[in-house]
Amino acid sequence: MTAPNRGPLARFLRKPLGLGALIVLLAVLLLAVFAPLLSPYDPGFVDYTITHAPPSAAHPLGGDSAGRDILSRLLYGAGSTLYGAVAACLTGVLLGVPSGVAAGYLGGRTDRICSWISDGLQSVPGMVVLLIVAAGTGVNFTVIMVTVGVFTAPGYYRIARARAQAVRGEPYIDAAIVAGIGTPRILGTHLLRAVRAPVIIQSALAAGLSMAMQAGLQFIGIGTTEPSWGEMMNDGFRTMLSYPLILLWPSLALGITIAAVAFLGSTLADVVNAYTREGEPRSGTVTVPREPSGTLRHAEQDCALRVRNLRVGYPDGWVVDGVTLDAARGEVLGIVGESGSGKSQTVFSVLDLLPTAARTSADSIRIGGREVLGLASGARQALLGTEIGYVPQEPMTNLDPCYTIGYQLTEPLRAVHGLPKAEARQRARAMLGRVGIPDPDRVLAAYPHQISGGMAQRVLIAGAVAATPGLLIADEPTTALDVTVQAEVLELLRELRAEYGMTLVIVTHDFGVVADICDRVVVMKDGAIVECGDVRDTFRSPADPYTARLIAASLDDTPGRAELDAAVRS
């Protein structure tokens, strides 16, 4: 019997250090909020009889150099300290995180401009600016702390940018793009979620830094005329040798609060990381362009996909070199080849998912009879999730670990197709049932780590066909699945193709998959097509030795070989 999955709150409560820090911060917050009720005296009331007085029953922490009750001033000072930290952190987050996420994800000119601004801000002497702001605003505490927050923004920017750069190449981001999710929504959901843990840690550091900075400013008489820990420390510093307790109490309060913030931040980051978790290998290169390879089998008006003379290159050479292929409406086309043959780069070109370093050229790429070469990026992206569906390989890495299955299935239906929330959830539930998931409601509420690999593959198939696209591309749909689940997935794809009349393009290295489901096969090697034809004819008499070796490698000594041989002889 497996242990029940613990949510973030349960994980947090099991960490004594974080729980203790939370209790301390809550205590400080409550003391600050209820200071008017808890303070035994007005913090500004002067009683000369308690000047430098030691702790007593009437004044538990004693009196300061001006004859004011230290406990009362300490309680009121907690409010200004927490308010200043919140103002500074909120400013830093609002300025640094969105700009860092956008720069890291979009790159190019956006990245350069934002990085210049961040570097320039870091080169400015912050204390000098704070003194100028204090003089120009009449010692406005809020403005001063917002200025402190501006100088913490570069820290947030660097962290968010680095995290966005690491995440933007993850398969689940590509899956969101293929589903038709626009860039603003990806930035506002997937990317912002991905930076939560480092931002929490940075906020803890920024909060502690802002508390220390405001205490330092108040220590020299800048920042507020209200009771504050910094001003109390200044008073205690002047009499430190004679009356050290006056300095001890505010220093102790500030140190404990900063330590509690730091421990709470690190614990929350650990919990977030524990509750969530963090493409295709680059193909081999072909250095010399060759003549176009492959043939067109069908008339243009009958094709759901038609590619002529496609080339994909990187700085060190071509990885797809002159590929020509087509797939008729309702046909199942297999693209087969060993790793590095260029098959996935070919379909990524059709999906417009190639990395920025890639350069492409083609005479034509037609999808559903429509020429897509030369289309603006927005128009090209509009085809994803509508006319084109995509089932990626490695299903567990193509689901965003930060969101439930239900959210990831309904988000494209709402964002791309404009369905209301209830209708989108109803369709998602129906599609999960259609792909053979026995308990759709449980799966909709689950996170990716709570389901199996085979079930995750079914979820991706459900998402891909929810909008009934005319063309469904499945990239290694049975990789990393056990034999029985592979058979179930292939049978499901066969049924969905027949039910919705879709054209199905399957990318695989396994000729057994080709024999099981495909009508025609395209064999690729070193970025070019070496053979294409009907599956039965290819198995009966492969025209290229490479094809014969792939067939032998895929089918020798497997249970399905005898059945296939019988089919070939018939």
Asked whether residue 540 is domain-assigned, the answer is no
Residue 460 near residue 435, CB atoms below 8 Å: no
- CB count within 10 Å of CB 166 equals 13
Residue 144 near residue 133, CB atoms below 8 Å: yes
Query: In whole angstroms, what is the distance from residue 500 CA to residue 465 CA?
Result: 9
Strands 503-508 and 332-336: parallel
353 and 457: one domain?
no
Counting the structural domains of the chain, the total is 3
436 and 307: one domain?
no
The torsion region of residue 5 among left (phi > 0), alpha (psi -120 to 50) and beta comes to: beta
Query: In whole angstroms, what is the distance from residue 377 CA to residue 47 CA?
Result: 74
* Residue-number span of the structural domain to which 340 is assigned: 290-387+471-535
Query: In whole angstroms, what is the distance from residue 431 CA to residue 416 CA?
Result: 17
103 and 245: one domain?
yes
Strands 364-367 and 370-371: antiparallel
Nearest to 399 by CA among 180, 188, 191, 172: 172
Asked whether residue 2 is domain-assigned, the answer is no
495 and 446: one domain?
no
Asked whether residue 48 is domain-assigned, the answer is no
What's the pLDDT at 306? 93
Residue 511 near residue 555, CB atoms below 8 Å: yes
Asked whether residue 147 is domain-assigned, the answer is yes
Q: Which of 447, 468, 489 is the last residue of a domain?
A: 468
Non-local (6+) Cβ contacts of 410 within 8 A are 419, 421, 424, 425, 428
CA dihedral 385, 390, 396, 402 (to 10 degrees): -20
Q: Which of 468, 495, 515 is the last residue of a domain?
A: 468
Query: In whole angstroms, what is the distance from residue 350 CA to residue 366 CA?
Result: 9
Q: Which of 468, 488, 509 is the last residue of a domain?
A: 468
Asked whether residue 39 is domain-assigned, the answer is no
> Residue 314 is encoded by which pair of tokens?
């990187």
Residue 475 near residue 507, CB atoms below 8 Å: yes
Non-local (6+) Cβ contacts of 37 within 8 A are none
263 and 307: one domain?
no
Strands 528-534 and 520-525: antiparallel
Query: In whole angstroms, what is the distance from residue 567 CA to residue 561 CA?
Result: 10
416 and 379: one domain?
no
256 and 295: one domain?
no
Rg, C-alpha atoms of the chain: 32
Query: In whole angstroms, what is the distance from residue 264 CA to residue 23 CA?
Result: 10
What's the pLDDT at 274? 54
The number of residues in the chain equals: 570
> Each residue's pLDDT tens digit in the chain (570 positions)?
333 445 566 777 778 888 888 899 899 999 989 988 988 998 888 888 888 888 898 888 988 888 889 899 999 988 888 888 899 999 999 999 999 999 998 888 899 999 999 988 888 887 788 878 877 776 678 888 888 889 889 989 998 998 888 888 777 787 778 777 888 888 887 888 788 778 888 888 888 888 888 888 888 777 666 788 888 888 888 888 888 888 898 889 888 998 888 888 878 777 766 544 433 333 343 444 556 778 888 888 889 999 999 999 887 678 898 899 999 998 999 999 888 888 989 999 898 888 877 888 889 999 988 898 878 877 888 888 888 988 887 777 788 888 899 998 898 888 888 889 999 999 999 888 888 888 899 999 999 888 888 888 888 888 888 888 889 998 888 766 677 777 777 888 888 888 888 899 999 888 888 888 899 999 999 889 999 999 999 988 898 998 888 888 775 444 444 444 454 454
Query: In whole angstroms, what is the distance from residue 506 CA to residue 494 CA?
Result: 11
369 and 460: one domain?
no
Residue 54 near residue 64, CB atoms below 8 Å: no
Non-local (6+) Cβ contacts of 222 within 8 A are 130, 131, 134, 139, 144
> Residue 284 is encoded by which pair of tokens?
């081999």
513 and 408: one domain?
no
> Residue 185 is encoded by which pair of tokens?
């929504």
Find the DSSP H helices in 227-278: 229-238, 245-275
Backbone φ, ψ for residue 69 (5° rounding): -70, 125
Asked whether residue 62 is domain-assigned, the answer is no
> Residue 413 is encoded by which pair of tokens?
């239906």
250 and 170: one domain?
yes
Q: Could you tell me which residues are beta bridge partners of residue 371? A: 366
Query: In whole angstroms, what is the distance from residue 390 CA to residue 460 CA?
Result: 8
Sheet containing 471-475: which strands, arranged edge to edge? 388-391, 471-475, 503-508, 332-336, 520-525, 528-534
251 and 176: one domain?
yes
CA angle 288, 289, 294 (to 5 degrees): 135
DSSP secondary structure of 324-364: EEEEETT-EEEEE--TTSSHHHHHHHHHT---TT-EEE-SE
What's the pLDDT at 356? 74
CATH code, domain with 319: 3.40.50.300
Give just the sign of the alpha carbon dihedral 241, 243, 245, 248: negative
Asked whether residue 281 is domain-assigned, the answer is no
CATH code, domain with 139: 1.10.3720.10
Residue 409 near residue 431, CB atoms below 8 Å: yes
Q: Which residue has the tokens 């966005």?
A: 164
Query: In whole angstroms, what is the distance from residue 181 CA to residue 400 CA?
Result: 13
Backbone φ, ψ for residue 322 (5° rounding): 80, 40
194 and 327: one domain?
no
Asked whether residue 45 is domain-assigned, the answer is no
